[in-house]
Amino acid sequence: MNKIDVKKTALLVLHAQNGIVKPGKFGYSGAPAQVKKHNLLAKIQKALVASRAAGVQVIYVNWCTKPGYPRAGDPMFQFPLLIDAYKAGVDCSYTNEGGYSESYKNPDEIKPVLSKDYIVDNWGCDGFMYSDLELILRARMITHVVATGVATNWVINSTVRRGAEIGFNMIVIEDCCQSFAEDMHQHQVTKVLPQIATAVVKLDEYLAALPKK
């Protein structure tokens, strides 16, 4: 890939939260097992450290739920993935009092640097929908957006697709993403995302493209 213009680039960490990537109530999905198998958190950590050192803006896009999943009681809301999460008791909630659950928070290995990073609350499977992500990117005149996180066939796909449609150059670091199963991830990074993203690259390629200070 070409050398990265750090002033015009942001690195997204999408839905890489305790309740999604750590063993627990979301384990039935297969995501925590894939994250562990592929050492995903260490790879994202490596991308984060290098990105911050180079001056790339880091943005966490964290999935939010309201306590009690009020959407799950809506007869119009028929979203099997989220209904299953509700039934399993996955709680990435943000309360009306402003408190976050432990499941909402990012693992210590990849936790935000609050003085440098942005955290975006995301209420759906598309990082741009129901969030201020686009406003932040436009305000900082970001043109290139690098995606990492979970799951490749859900939030990575939908965020990359939406970002490309509204004019951003979307880049996926394929080994900094994982899904619910091996075939789901591989299908996305080999068949689907190359048709949407500006580039699908390996972590080593991304690191090599960062300017050295």
How many structural domains is the chain composed of? 1
Give domain status of residue 55, yes or no: yes
Per-residue pLDDT of the chain (213 residues; tens, 9 = 90+): 889 999 999 999 999 999 999 998 888 899 999 999 999 999 999 999 999 999 999 999 999 887 766 666 665 556 677 777 777 777 888 776 668 989 999 999 999 998 999 999 998 889 999 899 999 999 999 999 999 999 999 999 999 999 999 999 999 999 999 999 999 999 999 999 999 999 999 999 999 999 986
Domain of residue 186 covers 6-209
| Contact criterion met (CB below 8 Å) for 177 and 43 | no
| Contact criterion met (CB below 8 Å) for 43 and 175 | yes
Q: What is the CATH number of the domain that holds 14?
A: 3.40.50.850
- DSSP assignment of 138-203 equals HHTT--EEEEEEE-IIIIIHHHHHHHHHTT-EEEEEEEEEE-SSHHHHHHIIIIIGGGTSSEEE-H
Give domain status of residue 1, yes or no: no
Give the tokens for residue 113: 């640097």
Give the tokens for residue 141: 């005149």
Give domain status of residue 160, yes or no: yes
